[in-house]
Structure 1
Amino acid sequence: MFATFQYEELIERALKEDIGTGDLSTLIIPKDYQSEARIYAKAHGIICGLFIAEMTFKKIDPYIDVQMQVEDGDSIGPGTLIMKINGSLAGILQAERTVLNFIQHLSGISSITKRFVELVSDLGVKVTDTRKTMPGMRNLQKYAVRVGGGTNHRFGLYDAVMLKDNHLDAIGNLAEAVQKIKTKVGHMVKIEVECETLEQVREAVLSGVDVIMLDNMSLQDMKTAVQYINHRVVVEASGGVREDTVRQIAETGVDIISVGRLTHSVEAIDFSMVVDDFKPSIQKHLHSAEKI
């Protein structure tokens, strides 16, 4: 299990962004009004972000009780009951939009990832994400990719080397760039090189890199590159990866396919929250009014 404390600041910022100096709309609701609310799915997909939803409700009011009806990774459809929430009506309403924003976005990522993974599941290739994530949301977005059955690429510039065209142009020579970086990082650090041509592929193999990215290559060039590499290094394909192209790319024999659209342009899965009419504490107020 992952450490949830790393998301505390993100949740606080999200709530502050929405509530600001105070929720004006719940000023009419007495503080002791209690209620049960339910969140339902309105579309098909893979649910993700339930722990963030609960943390968000608890951040508003630690006495709000959240009862999950599904688990991250479950398939959902229109009408699926996702969770029940009991507690302060004002608190539930204040957290509503932020909760829905989180699970709509994260479920969208897990859902599209699932589709990509299923399209190539019989070919032994891994579908992975990229660094094309929303600022501040990378860890959560990459978690959603894993929930959908995908794998994670590097998390940042700090955990692996990737020499891209701009790095190589700055040095002027791929082999020299690789040798220079080997003197700068430890022996445990993986080195990946982005290759746009078959000549670069040959140079990268001879330079002793760990991973070669075939960047926007034609299917035929990818097949040729895979045959030449012959399992000596890990081969990643990137660029132009869509649901209608991912299987053809996988069939070239690459080991990994990185897909930027898993996180950078995902379509959200829609959810809605319904609040029950029955509010026990409201009855108390009504009885008091009758006596007056």
Structure 2
Amino acid sequence: MSDTVIQVAGVTKSFVRGVNAVDDVTLSVARGETLGIVGESGSGKSTLLRMILRLIRPSAGAITLDGRDVWAASGRDLKQARRQMQAVFQDPASSFNPRQNIGTILAAPLEVHGIGDRASRARLIGETLERVGLPTTTITRYPHQLSGGQRQRVAIARAVILRPAVVLADEPTSALDVSVQAQVLKLFREIKDELGLTSVFVSHNLAVIREVSDRVAVMRHGKLIEIGTAERVFSAPESDYTRALIDAVPDPFRRFRAPVELESGS
């Protein structure tokens, strides 16, 4: 089995003639790795994630999952690919049916993929809720009855209940309070390690990306500006743009910056 799970090769997406939202991006994600993708609004990071998820068709290039072309899959192969690759979005409330309780929401992917009977599904739902730090009684509640952090925990539960190989997260903490962000990030790391997941984590927040990523890809105007280990990118950025992003962040990243030498006599 290859060590590369996701391969993005020369991928471009044009929404407007002559303007590329994603421009000839090539990168890979290794098995068990978390790749963080960071950039300002409009950098193309979320568009790239949605192309990997097969929600937006690339204008050019190829995307493979375990060596299989994501966009060439159909029928049973496509269903299997969708089971193996799950997503967590920024606002879980918008991806939940407000008329369904949490038990029904979590049962849906199990039913679609024909996993277990009603009793075994109920057990798995309860176990998964406990894994994400929610009581099993949550199954009877509705999305509007939960806090933002609780809804995001349910979103993570829905993403991992199928035991996928890959989880892709698009700004999953940006709508949460800072204290809740920390809890959700801790949960994300724990579940990723526990289940051996490969993940792609998109955020504009450098502190979040530094916290969860093994490697970091920096995007600007649809282009991949640089990519490397998180420690290297934050301690010795190669591009002026990456350095500017880091320098724009206050105290949390001060320890990653090179010391400023004062002129003698200052």
Query: TM-score, structure 2 length as denominator?
Result: 0.24
| More strand, by proportion | 2
The higher radius of gyration belongs to 1
